[in-house]
Structure 1
Amino acid sequence: MRVLALSDTHGLLRPEVLPLVAQADAVLHAGDVGTLQVLEALRAASPGPVHAVRGNVDRTPPLSELPETALLELGGVWVYLLHDLNDLDLSPVAAGVRVVISGHTHQPRREEQEGVLFLNPGSVGPRRFRLPVACAWLRLERGRVRAEPVTLAL
């Protein structure tokens, strides 16, 4: 299963993201969506499901009605999706979660701890400071996980 992880669009869905979305079996948005139009465009471009959680800028309906977290089984792997890793409200190891995806910092990060992959795909929205415009592919197959960062050339 090929999953596109992205975050922090802040109302800007760059056209360079849409071809990636079209190749994904599922899309995971780790919050700070910014506008309903972003979710609508992701859903229109994706052949699979689009899952999104609420970020700190998603304060008005309908985005404020997004869940704070999502626990998903994708490709035989449990994935936990939230916006700010500081708000992690469970022990991934105890819960059997293999991947934790978060956003918020706009800083791409990939780290494994105790068999759990912690992935921040970065931001595909407005550029912040000198941080890259980035997202990530997650390859999930029979309990195996591989993350591949994607930096968009703009």
Structure 2
Amino acid sequence: MEEVDEIWHAGDIGSFDVIGWFPEGKIHRIITGNIDDHSIRERFPEELVFEVGGLRVLMLHIGGNPARYAKGVKARIREVKAGLFVCGHSHICRVEYDRGLECLYMNPGAIGMQGFHQVRTMLKFSIIEGKPTDLRVIELGKKRMPSSN
């Protein structure tokens, strides 16, 4: 894995094994998703609001997208004054600037083998002077289908 300062996970952890793959010594920002069981929900929150590099970030698993946010998301983005909104759930990689909210929307897609996505994706970016920069979509290959033996 390339060097990074922080690892963010936008929910649907599925198993504590996933967290075990994260390198130690890094900041981990992790929220739960709708597939996560009680033990995972006890350890990680449903939402995170934090600031990094001068940028206010809101993370929620079910967020919709700028064309159609999930119920209450638009109000929450405004309430916390987020400049970056990160969500998961759809497993579809998408990045879009919402001019109305003055907020960058990011869904990294999914790196796992479950869900409707065909290609496993994640996002890598820097935050400099309160702005996300150097954004890259990293494709991790096609999802392997389980064998039917």
TM-score interval, smaller chain: 0.7 to 0.9
Instruction: Give the % identical residues.
Output: 24
Counterpart for residue 38 of structure 1: 18
Q: Quick one: structure 1 residues 83 and 50, their matched pair in 2 at CA, closer, same or farther if it must change by over 3 Å?
A: same
Q: CA RMSD in A?
A: 1.9
1:34 and 1:57 in contact (8 A); partners too:
yes
Q: Which has the higher strand share?
A: 2
Task: Give the aligned partner of residue 88 of structure 2.
Answer: 103
Matches within 5 A, 1:10-25: 19-20=1-2, 23-25=3-5
* Structure 2: segments with no counterpart, 5+ residues: 64-69, 143-149
Are residues 1:126 and 2:134 paired?
no
Deviation at 1:127, TM superposition (A): 5.5
**Which residue identity lines up with residue 12 of structure 2 in the other structure?**
D
How many equivalent residue pairs?
131
Which one has a larger percent helix, Structure 1 or Structure 2? 1
Q: Which digits, 9 at most, give the CA deviation of each residue in 1:88-125, with x for residues without a partner?
A: 27442453211100011111011101221100000000
Residue identity matched to 1:151: E
User: Which residues of structure 1 form unaligned runs of 5+?
Assistant: 1-18
Question: Which of the two has higher C-alpha Rg?
Answer: 2
Q: Does 1:28 align with 2:8?
A: yes
- Structure-2 residue corresponding to 1:80: 58
Specify which of 61, 64, 67 is matched with residue 41 of structure 2. Answer: 64
C-alpha distance 31-129 of structure 1, shift in aligned 2 (>3 A): closer
Relative to the length of structure 2, the TM-score reads 0.79
